[in-house]
Amino acid sequence: MNEVEVYKRQGFGHSSGFGDKPALLIIDFVVGFCDPNQYGGGNILDAVARTKVLLQAARKNKIPIAYTRLVYAPDGSDMGSFCLKVPGLEKFHEDSPAGQVAPDLTPQPGEYIVRKTQPSAFFGTGLVAWLLGKHVDTLIIAGATTSGCVRASVVDSMSYNFRTIVGSDCVGDRALGPHEANLFDMEKKYADLMTCDQIIALLSAT
């Protein structure tokens, strides 16, 4: 019995579906994570290109849009264990060029920027209150990295009872093995996987 059959026999992988009030969350697609010479590589730039298309559709359909950035204090006072595991993240300050949202995805007025110091977009931020204030029931997630901050945010999104959709071609990782393994695992337990085109079709139908 292969892995897929094991999960199916045990009842994993059901769809949580697409609700009535979606929002788009773009995780850590910042300059430093799009640059292979910093923290990028793998399929991240391809995922940015597809996310640009998804972002345009989200704006056209007037759904709430949020972005995350890693932002640490210049004096290092809010550094934690994440920076011990990945030295150099502490250089992502408010005005650091590496920490700015990628130019192809530049936020527009009215779009929410979540500043975080941990992998999850939810941990220690105002994201939940913002989503609830907009009556969101479905969170579409794009960003980087699939195995890191995307996965952490997907698990927390589901834990807060949002229907969670991962744009399978809108998330990227610096290594394809972890990317593919985490897509498989998230789809079986925490989220629905949909391509950019599938998500746009649903947005257009709402």
The tokens of 9 are what?
Answer: 């026999």
* Given the residues 34, 83, 149, 196, the one annotated as active site: 149
Q: How far apart are CA 142 and CA 99, in angstroms?
A: 17
Alpha helices (H) in the chain, listed in sequence order: 3-9, 31-34, 44-60, 81-85, 127-133, 151-159, 176-189, 196-205
Active site residue 149: yes
CB burial of residue 102 (10 Å; 0-12, 13-18, 19+): buried
The set of catalytic residues is 149
